Amino acid sequence: MFFDIGIIVIIASVVGFFARLLKQPVIPAYILTGLLIGPFGIGLVTDIETIKTLSEIGIAFLLFVVGLELDFRKLRNIGMIASVGGTIKTAILFVLGLIIAGFLGFTQREGIYIGLIIAFSSTMVVIKILSDKRELDTLHGRIIIGILLMEDILAILALSSLSTLGTTPILLIFAILKGLSIFVFAILASRYFFPSVFKIAAKSQEMLFLMAITVCFFFALLSSYLGFSIIIGAFVAGVALGNLPYNLEIVGRIKPLRDFFATIFFVSLGMELAVNNMNGLVAPLLIMTGIIVILKPIIVMSLGRLFRYTKRTSFLTAISLAQISEFSLIIVAQGLALGHISQDIFSLTVLLAIITISITSYFIKFDNQIYKFLSKPLGIFEPKKSKKELEYLPQTEYDVILVGYDRIGYSISKTLKKIGKQMMVVDFNPDLIRKLIKEKIPCLYGDIGDIDIIERLDFRKVDIVISTVPNEEENILLIKKLKEVNHKASIFVTAYHVDEALNLYDIGADYVILPHFLGGDHVSLMLEDVTGDINKLVTTKVKHIEELKERKELGHEHPKQNHQHKER
């Protein structure tokens, strides 16, 4: 087993490294690694069952972290589309799967499995990609998380019921009650037991980590004992610990484990491919891929229109869900073990997972470019009356437009208020926009990369436009649109790389903010001011502590250095 894991990690790292060099998503690279070293390829790895077990552990750790990071308060504003919309989407796709299965000649029982296969989307894949892009806190990110959470609950109920297919309704009800009992037990433990235990454990980082892992394994074992998958228990464990004040510390320590096992999961996905009757699978594969990649996004966008979200929010939500779930793989694995389905359906599901997960990786990576290309045809999904609660625009003319209010933008806004400038904020964090609305600060929810948002901004009479978003493509678009209508206005943009900064200057930026250099410049100026004067240093220190406390209350954290991510 050690040899097999070593082969997987070494080859996956090499293939992933070249994928990064070519600026490609790493998930398809890991799946390709599995195809290369598995039975379908050169057969380097032989102990497939052990690898499948390790991959299930990877899913369990991912869903444990998802549960830990899940803040139900953030979902309250998208509760309707998440719960009602997610349920409607799942039901439509399940029924569609049943119909297609009958059309393709599958039995009714096999049709139930095919319906479940296409009904759910992958929490593991989508959360990982959105997290890498730092889009979990966007409006579409929260809608996606809400829908995936609803799907996970429905998938857990489905897994609970599979063993009762063809049996009496009493057994089905009993299986559902067993599943609900795990949730009830977790809620009670979270409220009455875990707070006092973890208060003691948190005094030692090592003990905090071990106690969290203990809870994860306890619920996973409990879930397995009751006849469910271990990933159900792991997810429930994460939710149970998610409301503790130590959840972020736990997440930080669990993530390396999650990333290691997640890599093994994607590699094992490629290794599980074993097709004996490829000709018989071509038609079902093409039809089901079309449903998942084309029809599923259309259903989601239609629901987005029904709940009055803009076409862009609906589109970004929809293409992120255009794949099958890791639950689909677990469902068919259980169906194969129970004798409900054939090996061909299992192989079909693995192929669907490989194809749709790979496609989704590119969909999400190039979502803005795809949206710009399809913007006009997508007009049919624009509701007649969009949700307006995410903007406050008491007037039409402003001196300054500030793109991105968090961290850097917050400091800039304080200075603009001092000098009496009329300011409007554009930001893609819905919570932040709601807070600005309460404070009566003019603001608009949106991503500056969205041409529809740019067209809503009146650049003709502004004095300054400031973008704290270090995305070169979006800043280029902003510079060009401003200079087209207002040559006199100054524009400040942000970059992380020197080459990007020089390019932005060439295009027309008046000043490029380089955050990592500004820190050194600020310290240099401060040293000139306080050197030899201890009183000035103390005063500066006190002011800095007060500002840090203020930022802590606002939820500002100093970001880890990651030049690939958007910072608002």
> What would the pLDDT profile of 405-433 be if each residue is shown by its tens digit?
876 777 888 888 888 888 999 987 777 88
Residue 36 is assigned to a structural domain of this protein: no
Q: Does residue 5 form part of some domain?
A: no
Do 327 and 433 belong together in one domain?
A: no
What span, in angstroms and rounded, lies between the C-alpha atoms of 387 and 369? Answer: 24
Q: For the segment 308-330, what is each residue's pLDDT rounded down to a tens digit?
A: 888 888 999 999 999 998 788 87
In a domain, 40, yes or no: no
pLDDT at 218: 94
Mean of pLDDT values over 61-79: 71
Q: Which two tokens stand for residue 472?
A: 């070169």
Which residues fall within 8 angstroms of residue 235, CB to CB, at 6 or more apart? 63, 64, 66, 67, 152, 156
Name the band, by pLDDT with cuts 50, 70 and 90, for residue 532: low
The answer, yes or no, to whether residue 60 has pLDDT greater than 70, is yes
In a domain, 19, yes or no: no
Structural domain of 101: 52-381
CA atoms within 13 A on the CB side of 88: 14
Same domain, 476 and 359: no
Please name the residue that has the structure tokens 């097709």: 275
Higher per-residue confidence, 396 vs 437: 437
C-alpha Rg value of the chain to the nearest Å: 26
Task: Mark whether 372 and 395 lie in a shared domain.
Answer: no
- Torsions phi, psi of 407, nearest 5? 55, -100
Q: What pLDDT does 10 receive? A: 92
33 domain residue, yes or no: no
Domain count, the chain: 2
In angstroms, the CA 303 to CA 87 distance is: 11
What CATH number does residue 247 fall under? 1.20.1530.20
Q: Which residues, in sequence order, are bridge partners of residue 467?
A: 403
Provide the pLDDT for residue 560. Answer: 45
Report the run of H or E that residue 372 belongs to, with start and end: helix 367-374
In a domain, 172, yes or no: yes
- Which letter, b or e, does each residue of 373-403 get, where b requires 16 or more Cβ atoms within 10 Å of its Cβ? eebeebeebbeeeeeeebbbeeeeebbbbbb
Given a cut of 80, whether residue 138 has pLDDT beyond it is no
Are residues 77 and 171 located together in one domain of the fold? yes
Residues 214 and 300 in one domain: yes
Token reading at 314: 């609906």
**Does the residue 405 lie in any domain?**
yes
What CATH number does the domain containing 480 carry? 3.40.50.720
What is the pLDDT, as a whole number, of residue 386? 58
Q: Which of 160, 132, 135, 159 is nearest to 145 (CA)?
A: 135
Query: Considering 359, 381, 403, which residue would you say is the last residue of a domain?
Result: 381
> Does residue 261 share a domain with residue 220?
yes
466 plus 373 within the same structural domain: no
- Whether the CB-CB separation of 445 and 433 falls below 8 Å is answered with yes
Whether residue 109 sits in one domain with residue 62? yes
Judged against a pLDDT cut of 50, whether residue 566 lies above it is answered with no
- Is residue 524 in a domain? yes
Least confident of 146-150, 215-219, 291-295: 146-150
Model confidence at 388, pLDDT cuts 50, 70, 90, reads low
Average predicted confidence (pLDDT) for the chain: 81
The residue assigned the tokens 């090996």 is 343
Mark whether 243 and 200 lie in a shared domain: yes
Least confident segment among 67-76, 294-303, 458-467: 67-76
| Residue entry with tokens 């890498």 | 132
Domain end (from 328, 355, 381):
381
Same domain (yes/no): 138, 274: yes
Same domain for 302 and 157, yes or no, is yes
User: How confident is the model at residue 244, as a pLDDT?
Assistant: 82
pLDDT-above-70 percentage for the chain: 86
Q: Could you tell me the two tokens for 510?
A: 């008046």
The half-sphere exposure of 381 on its side-chain side, counting CA atoms within 13 A, is 24
Q: Position of tokens 């929809």?
A: 318
The closest alpha carbon to 124, from 252, 264, 7, 299, belongs to 264
> Mean pLDDT throughout 473-494?
88
Can you give the pLDDT at residue 99?
93
Same domain, 430 and 341: no
Domain boundary (381, 402, 423) is at 381
Q: Which of 16-25, 434-443, 447-456 has the lowest mean pLDDT?
A: 447-456
